[in-house]
Amino acid sequence: MNVLIIHGPNLNMLGYRDKKIYGSMTYEGLKEYISVYAKSKGMNTAFFQSNHEGELIDCIQESCHGDFDAIVINAGAYSHYSYAIRDALEICHFPKVEVHLSNVMQREDFRKTLVLSDVCDRTIYGLGPEGYLLALDFLLDKTHNV
Ligand code: DQA
């Protein structure tokens, strides 16, 4: 299974952002953490990060016609208001999981609105980097149970 892991704005700054909220793992460290786990489960991962909404949409659109079987996305702050990213995800007819490192339901009110969730098969938040591993487990379970 080929999984595309997409990160939105400011997630390239992990390790420099508030460590109490996001932990101390850097973006490079996170990619390593996810890909090592994926490999152990026989999955391949590819990563894309952008601070720009249009680039994220282009990446999602291209992935629909590419070699991918699933998407894991942490769109950062766009998760709370980007209907354009939501609509791009809706076009892709493979499994999609939304992940947030922090517990968005216990932070500022604006973070409680998640506009991508209804087009994703699952939303995972508040579990730190482990949330991505659960996302991969979910995708494996889902494809085995088809
Ligand atoms: C985040 C939560 C968002 O509210 C925030 O804007 C981020 C990261 C998370 O992973 O917890 O950039 O998606």
81-116 pLDDT tens trace? 999 999 999 999 999 999 999 999 999 999 999 999
Question: How remote is the CA of residue 146 from the centroid of ligand 1, in Å?
Answer: 31
Distance in Å, CA 39 to ligand 1 centroid: 26
**Strand, helix or coil for residue 114:** coil
Q: What pLDDT, in 10s, does the model give residues 20-56?
A: 999 999 999 999 999 999 999 999 999 999 999 999 9
Q: Read off the tokens for 145.
A: 């149970």
| pLDDT of amino acid 143 | 82
d(CA 65, CA 70): 12
pLDDT of residue 66: 81
Ramachandran bin of 15, using left for φ above 0, alpha for ψ from -120 to 50, beta for the remaining angles:
left
Cα atoms in the 13 Å half-sphere on the side-chain side of 37: 17
At residue 146 the predicted structure's pLDDT band, cuts being 50, 70 and 90, is low
What percent of the chain has pLDDT above 70?
Answer: 99
Across all residues in the chain, what is the average pLDDT?
96
Residue pair 21/62 in contact (Cβ under 8 Å)? The answer is no
Specify the amino acid at residue 106: Q
User: Whole-model pTM above 0.95?
Assistant: yes
Pair of tokens at residue 76: 């950062």
pLDDT at 67 over 90: no
- Residues assigned a catalytic role: 22, 100
Residue 124 confidence (pLDDT) above 90: yes
Residues with CB under 6 A from ligand 1: 10-11, 74, 76-77, 79, 100-102, 104, 111
Q: What is the DSSP letter of 11?
A: G
Cα–Cα distance for residue pair 82/33, rounded to 1 Å: 28
Helix/strand/coil (H/E/C) assignment for every residue in 76-141: HHHHHCCHHHHHHHHHCCCCEEEEECCCHHHCCHHHHCCCCHHHCCEEEECCCCHHHHHHHHHHHH
